[in-house]
């Protein structure tokens, strides 16, 4: 068991100057971290069989990790029985607020994470992607939860389906949290981001998680996890941590559980074939290695802004995180005639990359995550050597700043494959380090064919200034890539970077990339929820979703709803207005006033010739204005503003002499700030024959108090 409170000391370890808990620092100033698992609210330190983690910078031990005997079944029961029910009792907004608070807490302590970051071989710039990228991801998911999900327990997925002629039986897709536990197995390259990007959507969904980081960098994950626990912001049982192996945990998962894996294709294959996972249809998402490509458009010439941007992006992808990014560019596909220019520009750029002690501010590229990783990359380089020639120097002999060669350092390495059609290894061997291969294409079809030879990737990028080139590439390649990143001179300044995943969009890739998906705002949250098609009467659907729909019961409010506060307004409260006749004079007045003299309103003969109209008809916008005039209560009150109108459809034309009346019903309420929330109203306009002429959703901001 770990000491609860740790005194903190400033240390300098191979340049990794920072603050480290006292107990980790030996007499000679060396660091021996002892990351602990967190199971059933107990910290459990390394056991007798703990693995010694060798740091990549000095090639000396930095941590003892794993080997503890964990009660795997107890952990699963704790998550399912304690964490799950508490999380599910909260609304999406409650959980989103909780996530935001956690992220802000981590933000306030990020320097402690940076101190450990350098031990993993990563520079400060790499650390920012991992640490602040992870915190930023959590903040975005939290904000999506508040903005795009209800302040309730059921997520309404899409529109109501009409299943009966009279509307008394309808269908609605809803999503509810899984009632099990999510097991997250993460790769070594992003110890913080990797945990937070999975935790955020899982917890927002209302599902507890057990996190298993890769052992090589688990001490950084543990430090971040410990901060989350210490914040006291999460309910008991919401998160647990396994340092080391998960034992037989996967054999004990059931139909309500989910596994999200990031790592190598080999491990993914082994895990996804687990008999129990298959037998119980346990959700298994894999994000695995990928031969990502970038294409230089045929329209982009050396010396142009787009060309420079291409070189910058390719150079960054080779060197950020020492190339240990699942999204890093492994294949650089350029027009034959520009091969020399690209090779020259890229080798010049790579020559400027300083390699060495990641704690040294002048170093641009640190170490690989481990000596094993370095050995793997060298083996993969040798597998590529038959098909490629090296354009840069010997990767094993980089000039190092402030570090000894025994560390896991490699120089940025650019290879060239002259015959990518005959080659096989360059399209299938992932050297997970600062390595990329340049190859020529003849025409755009050839470029697309080469791009797709990776067998399914997380991301492919294209640099072009020609939207038609982008269209051709997208149609030919999108099916093979989870993400297509297209930039050119116009967007280069604001583009997010080939390798940067964004929490707003779904990430993942087909085939070799694992076939999984992660992140993606609400889409990512839905990975941890069950979508169910509910069929029933409108009242049944309204009761389950907490939203009114046509056909569900209407109630009469005690006063005009615009005089009621957010909390007083009840879903289903309805007012029916008086009727108002629409005259020809109204139409002409509106036409003159607004300048909208479209023939359908002004020219009887031309209007009659139009198959949609019986003759001159009222402007749709005139009807909306009259509707507002009919339902609005004009006095100052809790309704603060009309913020929009969605889903407008005009169903039947209104002719001069027709009359209209309005039904206004409170459909949905969503808290927005501490003082007001959004009320969505269903507004339906009917004519004198009781036919629906228009329907829309009106959005208003309504104060919590008068």
Catalytic residues: 287, 326
Beta strands (DSSP E) in 405-528 are 413-416, 435-441, 457-463, 481-487, 506-508, 517-519
Contact range with ligand NAP by CB under 6 A, out of 26-34, 123-131, 288-296, 433-441: 288-296
Conformational region of residue 114, where left means phi above 0, alpha means psi within -120 to 50, and beta covers everything else: alpha
Q: Cα torsion for 473, 474, 479, 484, to the nearest 10°?
A: 100
Q: Which two tokens stand for residue 558?
A: 């005690």
The nearest distance, CB 407 to ligand NAP, in angstroms, is 18
Chain residues 325-364 in contact with ligand NAP, contact rule CB under 6 A: 326
Among 102, 119, 185, 429, binds ligand NAP (CB under 6 A): 185
Question: Which residues are CB-neighbours of 593 under 8 A, at least 6 positions away?
Answer: none
- 264 interacts with ligand NAP by CB under 6 A: yes
Q: Is 35 in the site for ligand NAP (CB under 6 A)?
A: no
What the block records as the tokens of 387 is: 């098909």
Q: Does position 188 bind ligand NAP by CB under 6 A?
A: yes
Separation of first and last alpha carbons in the chain: 54
Smallest distance, ligand NAP to C-beta of residue 145, A:
23
Phi, psi of 632 (to 5 degrees): -70, 140
Out of 432, 480, 650, 676, point to the residue binding ligand NAP (CB under 6 A).
432
211 touches ligand NAP (CB under 6 A): no
Binding of residue 214 to ligand NAP (CB under 6 A): yes
**195 sits near ligand NAP (criterion: CB under 6 A):** no
Minimum separation from the CB atom of position 58 to ligand NAP (A): 20
User: By CB under 6 A, which span of 184-192, 348-356, 463-471, 624-632 interacts with ligand NAP?
Assistant: 184-192
Determine the length of the chain.
706
List b or e across 419-434, with b for residues whose CB sees 16 or more CB atoms inside 10 angstroms. ebeebebbbebbbbbb
658 sits near ligand NAP (criterion: CB under 6 A):
no
**Per CB under 6 A, 457 contacts ligand NAP:** no
Selected binder of ligand NAP within 72, 142, 246, 698 (CB under 6 A): 246
Q: What are the phi and psi torsion angles at 390 (to 5°)?
A: -90, 130
Q: Which stretch binds ligand NAP (CB under 6 A): 52-60, 89-97, 283-291, 471-479?
A: 283-291
* DSSP code string of 15-54: T--EEEEGGGB-TTS-B-B---EEETTEEE---TTPEEEE
| Residue 287 near ligand NAP by CB under 6 A | yes
What are 279-284's contacts with CB under 8 Å, separation 24+?
Answer: 280/253, 280/254, 280/255, 281/255, 282/253, 282/254, 282/255, 282/257, 282/258, 283/257, 283/258, 283/259, 283/527, 284/258, 284/259, 284/516
**CB 35, min distance to ligand NAP, A:** 12
> Does residue 129 touch ligand NAP according to CB under 6 A?
no
Q: Tell me the residue nearest to ligand NAP as measured from the CB.
A: 263
Q: How far apart are CA 404 and CA 558, in angstroms?
A: 79
User: Binding to ligand NAP by residue 370, rule CB under 6 A?
Assistant: no
Q: Which stretch binds ligand NAP (CB under 6 A): 143-151, 262-270, 277-285, 334-342?
A: 262-270
Select 112 or 287, whichever has its Cβ closest to ligand NAP.
Answer: 287
Tell me the closest approach of the beta carbon of residue 478 to ligand NAP, in angstroms: 18
Radius of gyration, alpha carbons of the chain: 30
Among the listed ranges 99-107, 135-143, 264-272, 381-389, the one in contact with ligand NAP (CB under 6 A) is 264-272
Query: Whole-number minimum distance, CB 312 to ligand NAP, in Å?
Result: 23
Closest distance of CB 225 from ligand NAP, Å = 14
CB of 269 to ligand NAP, least distance (A): 10
Least Cβ distance, residue 530 to ligand NAP (angstroms): 24
Helix axes 620-631, 584-594, angle to 10 degrees: 110
By CB under 6 A, name the one of 423, 458, 522, 639 that touches ligand NAP.
Answer: 458
> Could you tell me the two tokens for 142?
């939290």
289 counts as binding ligand NAP under rule CB under 6 A: yes
Interface residue with ligand NAP, options 172, 215, 392, 547 (CB under 6 A): 215
Number of residues that bind ligand NAP (CB under 6 A): 25
> Does 263 interact with ligand NAP (rule: CB under 6 A)?
yes
C-beta of 290: minimal distance to ligand NAP in Å?
6
Q: Give me the helices (H) in 109-158, please.
A: 110-117, 124-127, 133-148
The window from 158-166, 282-290, 411-419, 605-613 that contacts ligand NAP (CB under 6 A) reads 282-290
Check binding of 696 to ligand NAP (CB under 6 A): no
| Residue 227 C-alpha from the chain's centroid | 23
The reply to whether 480 sits near ligand NAP by the rule CB under 6 A is no
407 binding ligand NAP? (CB under 6 A)? no
Rounded Cα distance between 537 and 168, Å, is: 5
Strand partners, 641: 701
Question: Is 259 a residue that touches ligand NAP (CB under 6 A)?
Answer: no
Q: Comparing C-alpha atoms, which of 231, 14, 46, 36 is closest to residue 115?
A: 14
Calculate the CA dihedral of residues 424, 426, 429, 433 and round it to 10 degrees: 170
Binding site for ligand NAP (CB under 6 A): 185-189, 212, 214-216, 246, 262-264, 267, 270-271, 287-290, 326, 430, 432, 458, 514
């Amino acid at each position: 068991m770990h000491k609860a409170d740790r005194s903190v000391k400033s240390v300098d370890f191979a340049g990794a100057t920072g603050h480290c808990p006292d107990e980790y620092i030996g007499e000679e100033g060396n660091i021996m971290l002892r990351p602990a698992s967190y199971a059933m609210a107990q910290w459990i330190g390394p056991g007798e069989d703990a693995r010694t983690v060798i740091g990549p910078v000095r090639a000396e031990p930095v941590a003892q990790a794993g080997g503890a005997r964990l009660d795997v079944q107890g952990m699963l029961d704790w998550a399912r029985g304690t964490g799950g029910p508490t999380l599910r009792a909260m609304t999406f907004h409650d959980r989103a607020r909780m996530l935001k608070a956690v992220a802000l807490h981590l933000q306030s302590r990020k320097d402690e994470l940076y101190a450990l970051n350098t031990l993993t071989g990563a520079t400060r710039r790499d650390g920012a992607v991992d640490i602040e990228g992870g915190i930023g991801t959590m903040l975005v998911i939290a904000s999506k939860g508040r903005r795009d999900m209800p302040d309730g327990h059921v997520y309404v997925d899409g529109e109501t389906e009409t299943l009966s002629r009279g509307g008394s039986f309808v269908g609605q897709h809803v999503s509810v949290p899984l009632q099990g536990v999510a097991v997250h197995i993460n790769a070594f390259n992003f110890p913080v981001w990797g945990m937070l990007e999975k935790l955020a959507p899982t917890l927002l969904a209302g599902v507890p998680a057990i996190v298993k980081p890769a052992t090589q960098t688990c001490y950084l994950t543990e430090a971040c996890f410990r901060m989350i626990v210490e914040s006291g912001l999460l309910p008991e049982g919401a998160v647990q941590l396994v340092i080391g192996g998960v034992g037989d945990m996967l054999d004990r998962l059931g139909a309500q559980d989910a596994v999200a894996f990031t790592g190598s294709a080999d491990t993914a294959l082994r895990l996804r074939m687990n008999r129990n996972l298959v037998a119980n249809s346990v959700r298994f998402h894999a994000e695995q290695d990928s031969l990502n490509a970038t294409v230089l458009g045929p329209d982009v010439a050396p010396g142009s802004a787009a060309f420079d941007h291409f070189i910058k992006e390719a150079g960054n992808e080779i060197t950020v995180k020492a190339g240990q990014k699942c999204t890093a560019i492994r294949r650089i596909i350029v027009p034959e005639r520009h091969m020399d220019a690209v090779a020259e520009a890229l080798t010049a750029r790579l020559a400027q990359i300083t390699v060495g002690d990641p704690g040294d501010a002048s170093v641009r590229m640190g170490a690989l995550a481990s000596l094993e990783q370095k050995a793997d990359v060298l083996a993969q380089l040798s597998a590529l050597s038959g098909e490629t020639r090296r354009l840069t120097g010997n990767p094993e002999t980089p000039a190092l700043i402030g570090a000894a060669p025994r560390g896991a350092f490699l120089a940025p390495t650019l290879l060239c494959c002259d015959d990518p059609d005959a080659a096989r290894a360059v399209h299938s061997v992932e050297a997970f380090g600062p390595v990329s291969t340049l190859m020529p294409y003849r025409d755009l079809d050839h470029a697309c064919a080469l791009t797709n030879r990776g067998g399914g990737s997380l991301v492919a990028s294209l640099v072009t200034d020609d939207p038609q080139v982008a269209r051709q590439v997208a149609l030919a390649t999108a099916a093979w890539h989870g993400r297509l990143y297209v930039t050119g001179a116009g967007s280069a300044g604001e583009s997010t970077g080939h390798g940067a995943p964004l929490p707003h969009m779904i990430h993942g890739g087909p085939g070799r990339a694992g076939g999984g998906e992660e992140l993606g705002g609400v889409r990512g949250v839905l990975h941890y929820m069950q979508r169910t098609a509910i069929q029933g009467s409108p009242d049944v659907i309204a009761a389950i979703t907490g939203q009114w729909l046509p056909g569900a019961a209407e109630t009469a409010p005690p006063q005009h709803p615009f005089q009621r506060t957010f909390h007083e307004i009840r879903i289903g409260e309805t007012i029916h207005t008086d009727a108002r006749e629409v005259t020809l004079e109204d139409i002409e007045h509106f036409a003159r006033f607004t300048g909208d003299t479209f023939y359908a309103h002004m020219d009887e003969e031309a209007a009659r010739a139009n198959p949609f109209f019986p003759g001159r008809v009222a402007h749709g916008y005139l009807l909306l204005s009259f509707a507002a005039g009919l339902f609005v209560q004009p006095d100052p009150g809790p309704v603060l503003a009309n913020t929009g109108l969605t889903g407008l459809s005009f169903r039947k034309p209104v002719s001069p002499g027709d009359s209209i009346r309005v039904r206004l019903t409170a459909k949905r309420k969503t808290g927005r700030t501490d003082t007001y929330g959004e009320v969505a109203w269903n507004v339906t306009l009917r004519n004198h024959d009781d036919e629906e002429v228009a329907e829309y959703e009106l959005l208003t901001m309504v104060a919590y108090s008068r």
